[in-house]
Chain A
Amino acid sequence: MNEVVKILVIEKSYIIREGLKALLSQMGLAFRMDEADCIKDSFQKLLEKYEPQVVIANQLQLSEKWHGNRNSTAFTGLIIIGIVHSIPDENQTSHFDFTLNVMNSKSALTNDFQDIFVKIGLVSEENDSETISEREADVLRLVALGLTNNEIAERLFISVHTVMTHRKNITRKLGIKTVSGLTVYAILNKLVESGELKGGRKE
């Protein structure tokens, strides 16, 4: 949800880079975009420098300086989107996960981006407004009371791992990260009485 996605754009054209930035900023995605004119040295070095999750690269730039195998571990988890200017030849774009035709209209490009981001799980199709489940409310209550993950697991007869999953989901749904923030939420929603709080544990 609120994590910033690191995107690296490798494209010589300033106008295309700015255009991509403008499009991306309309996607409802928190992102940071780094830019490179071209691949000076090797693609791997650029990856090490910027550590992107998504690379959007000019098709020509990447084919020339492409060293190594798309399946190699250096590219694990990396999404590579190729910038093309026409309907591409399959052979030239096999190392891309997706292609983006920059000659397309704004609405077509927006749709393409949307599709890509949904497919790779960066944007979710359903909205994020789901409320917390009863079990999550139980966990939240105990978090607010100052219990540790271990104590919560013991109390609810679940594994610590499950507690952590619940906490992750609570934070994602509510948009509240800190224990004191969750405590305020719990009091406002009457999951706990402020009298119950020991006021001991602070992060």
Chain B
Amino acid sequence: MLIHKDMKMADVIHLNHHLLHVINRFGIQLGFGEKSVKQVCELHQVPLPFFLEIVNTFHDSTYFPVESMLQFKASELIEYLHQTHQYYLDFRIPEIENYIRRLTNDNSFDEEIKVLLLDFFRQYTHELTIHINKEEQRVYPYVLALEHYLQDNKLEKELVEQLKAYSIHEYEEDHDDVESKLFDLKNILIKYIPQPKDSRILNLILHEIFELEKDLNNHAHIEDLILVPIVEKMEQDFLTISNQDKTL
């Protein structure tokens, strides 16, 4: 069942509580009362169609965004993706690291193995951070500049040159590398960790990793299925305009 505008926001959470942190990224917090999705969005000045697409792609991994997604503003999308990055780096990653640190508290877990896991997880975090920084520092500013240019139609020669030199396709490739380490970590925990006396904390770590993985997949899904087509369209518009204007 998909999320639609007339549902109560509270029922959305009853239906799928994993959506809570997605909803938070729009600046919407708990305490919905009897308000519908539409009312909550209006209250927080969140564009309703945009909200529904994002929530539904997360809710149902087979859901394909409607064609009207090309109308979404790239800046709205980037704000959401940015919030997602913050959530990973400020919340999810430190939380997993904390759990790994707690592994030796009950003395049943070998210190050396804890260090090994922590080390591996830090390597992963390092790669994820590099990937995120690349998007935040290179890709998003490019998209925002492109959108800005198309809105204002102000032609600055320097900007136009910069935009011409880059294309969204340059960044489409590399989602895979970061995923492999997380995949490995799951198998190491599930299959190869020497059995501890009590695996409750390991269970928690594993649970967190699955959640993170689901979230990352959705993040990549939104970039590939919504952001990239929007930017492709803007790039086309941009080329048409800048070609017409021979002064550039």
A174-B187, A178-B181, A181-B184 known; A188-B192 Cβ under 8 A: yes
A2: chain B residues within 8 A (beta carbon): 183
Judging by beta carbons under 8 Å apart, are B116 and A178 in contact? no
Contacts of A181 on B, CB cut-off 8 Å?
120, 180-181, 184-185, 187-188
Convert A1-44 into 0s and 1s, putting 1 for each residue whose CB lies closer than 8 angstroms to a CB of B.
01000000000000000000100000000000100000000000
Bound complex: CA A174 to CA B183 (Å): 11
CB proximity of A197 to chain B, nearest CB, Å: 11
Q: How large is the interface on B (under 10, 10 to 19, 20 to 34, 35 or more residues)?
A: 10 to 19
B29 CB-CB contact with A under 8 Å: no
Shortest distance from the beta carbon of B123 to any chain A beta carbon, whole Å: 6
Asked if A149 is an interface residue, CB under 8 A from chain B, the answer is: no
Residues of B within 8 A of A108 (CB): none
Contact, CB under 8 Å: B181 / A175: no
Residue contact B180 to A184, C-beta cutoff 8 Å: no
Q: Would B184 and A176 count as touching, CB distance under 8 A?
A: yes
B116 near A187: Cβ-Cβ < 8 Å: yes
Number of A-B contacts (CB under 8 A): 50
> A185 to chain B: which residues have CB within 8 Å?
188, 192
Task: Check: A119 CB closer than 8 A to any chain B CB.
Answer: no
B246 within 8 A of A: no
Q: Are A194 and B185 in contact (CB under 8 A)?
A: no
CA distance A105 to B180 in the complex (A): 39
A88 to chain B, nearest CB (A): 29
Shortest distance between the CB of B127 and any CB in chain A (Å): 9
Instruction: Mark each residue of chain B from 160 to 200: 1 if its CB lies under 8 Å from any CB of chain A, else 0.
Output: 00000000000000000000110111011001111000000
Inter-chain contact A177/B180, CB cutoff 8 Å: yes
| CA gap between A33 and B63 in the complex, in Å | 11
| B112 lies within 8 A of chain A by Cβ | yes
**Which B residue's beta carbon lies closest to that of A202?**
B123
A72 beta carbon closer than 8 Å to chain B: no
Does B204 belong to the interface (CB within 8 Å)? no
A86 within 8 A of B: no
B68 contacts partner chain A, Cβ-Cβ < 8 Å: no
> Quick one: which of A154-200 are within 8 Å of B by CB?
174-178, 180-182, 184-185, 187-189, 194
Q: Flag A45-84 by CB within 8 Å of B: 1 or 0 each.
A: 0000000000000000000000000000000000000000
| Chain A residues with a Cβ under 8 A of chain B | 2, 21, 33, 174-178, 180-182, 184-185, 187-189, 194, 202
Can you name 10 extra interface pairs (CB under 8 A) apart from A33-B62, A184-B116?
A2-B183, A21-B62, A174-B192, A178-B181, A180-B123, A181-B120, A184-B188, A188-B116, A188-B188, A188-B192
